[in-house]
Amino acid sequence: QEEVLHRQDKLAAVGQLAAGVAHEIRNPLTSMRGYAEFLQLDEKDPERLEFLNIILDEIERVNTIVEDFLVLAKPKAVELEEKNIVPVIKTVISMQEFEAIKKNVRLHFDCEQKNILINCDENRLKQVFLNFIKNAIEAMPNGGDLYVKAMIHDNNVQISIQDTGVGIPKEQLKKLGEPFFTTKKQGHGLGLMMSFKIIEGHQGKVFVESELNKGTTFNILLPAKKTA
Ligand code: ADP
Ligand code: MG
């Protein structure tokens, strides 16, 4: 297993810049959305309505990227609250059910505990799990199995996300988490960078194990909240 959460210094400068740009883009984007929605209200021409819908969809797409970048601007100490992550993981898995069916991927969730408490920022962790699960599904273009497991190990919670997909070539392992590193036509190579950043904000670690044409396992370790 190789630890992949590192290079944070190099990322810090890129992150600050990206967050600054994202912040500047957000305001004009908000007013663009406002005016487009306003025009949509009493537009009767179906073709124009269709164009306005496309504009709004595209604004939404830019907005998602901008929001992602803004994560980088957040100070390291995010607001952490004690949360049970079992239902959080379940929610994220069910969000991907439709995508999985389309791609012929079977989803498996395995967890013995009903309660696994973590001091966390629930929404950000949700985003992290979603990123890993999406990547796993995207790594199985011909279908396969996705195993998500959550367990407590000593003082850590381990969440593993294992796919039976294409795997990652050795020389690419060290690029994981670099901004804009992607091997996908439609990818933007920000998901892992954001995820690592968020996990770092939770004092966590990430390990990866991968074999070409066999699959990939990401192990996320997060400090467990001591339960009474
Ligand atoms: P994106 O999904 O937009 O490409 P990510 O940061 O999420 O960006 O992932 C970066 C790259 O890491 C992917 O393009 C892919 O090459 C590789 N990768 C991530 N997860 C997996 C996985 N489960 N299996 C194979 N490759 C992966
Ligand atoms: Mg991704």
Residue type, 2: E
Instruction: Tell me the pLDDT tens digit for each residue of 44-77.
Output: 999 999 999 999 999 988 887 787 777 665 555 5
Residue 91 half-sphere exposure toward CB, CA atoms < 13 A: 11
Q: How many Å lie between the centroid of ligand 2 and the Cα of residue 129?
A: 11
Q: Residue 228 — very low, low, confident or very high, per pLDDT cuts 50/70/90?
A: very low
Q: Within a 10 A sphere around the Cβ of 13, how many other Cβ atoms?
A: 9
**Residue 3 contacts residue 206 (beta carbons within 8 Å):** yes
pTM of the model: 0.79
Task: Identify the pLDDT of residue 9.
Answer: 57
Residue 199 corresponds to which amino acid?
A: I
Task: Report the candidate in 164, 139, 140, 160 with the shortest Cα–Cα distance to residue 148.
Answer: 160
Name the β-bridge partners of 218. Answer: 161, 208
Which residues sit opposite 208 in a β-bridge?
2, 218
pLDDT at residue 213 greater than cutoff 90? yes
Q: Rounded distance, CA 182 to CA 188, Å?
A: 6
Is the Cβ atom of 64 under 6 angstroms away from ligand 1?
no
- Give me ligand 1 centre to Cα 135, in Å: 5
Single-letter residue type at 134: K
pLDDT at 72: 63
Residue 194: CB within 6 Å of ligand 1? Answer: no
CA dist 125 and 107 (Å) reads 19
What is the end-to-end Cα distance of the chain in Å, rounded? Answer: 32
Judged against a pLDDT cut of 80, whether residue 4 lies above it is answered with no
**Centroid of chain to Cα 86:** 17
Residue-wise pLDDT tens digits, 134-191: 999 999 999 999 999 999 988 899 999 999 999 999 999 999 988 889 999 878 888 8
Q: Tens digits of per-residue pLDDT, 18-52? A: 777 888 898 899 999 999 999 999 999 999 999 99
The response to whether residue 222 sits with its C-beta less than 6 Å from ligand 1 reads no
- CB of 131 closer than 6 A to ligand 1? yes
Phi, psi of 139 (to 5 degrees): -80, -5
ipTM for this prediction: 0.99
The yes-or-no verdict on residue 12 having pLDDT over 60 is yes
Cα(118)–Cα(130) distance, integer angstroms: 17
In short, whether 217's Cβ falls inside 6 Å of ligand 1 is no
pLDDT at position 227 over 60: no
User: Cβ(181) to ligand 1 under 6 A?
Assistant: yes
* Range in 76-85, 95-104, 117-126, 201-210 with the lowest mean pLDDT: 76-85
Instruction: Report the length, in residues, of the chain.
Output: 228
Q: Quick check: CB of 139 below 6 Å from ligand 1?
A: yes
Distance 42 CA to ligand 2 centre (A): 38
**CA dihedral (208, 209, 212, 214) positive or negative:** negative
| Cα of 179 from ligand 1 centre, angstroms | 11
Q: Tell how far the Cα of 48 is from the centroid of ligand 2, in angstroms.
A: 33
Ligand nearest to the CA of 182: 1
Q: Would you state the structure tokens that stand for residue 196, as one six-digit string?
A: 């690592």
Mapped to the 3 state alphabet, what secondary structure does 162-201 carry?
A: EECCCCCCHHHHCCCCCCCCCCCCCCCCCHHHHHHHHHHH
3 state DSSP class of 81: strand
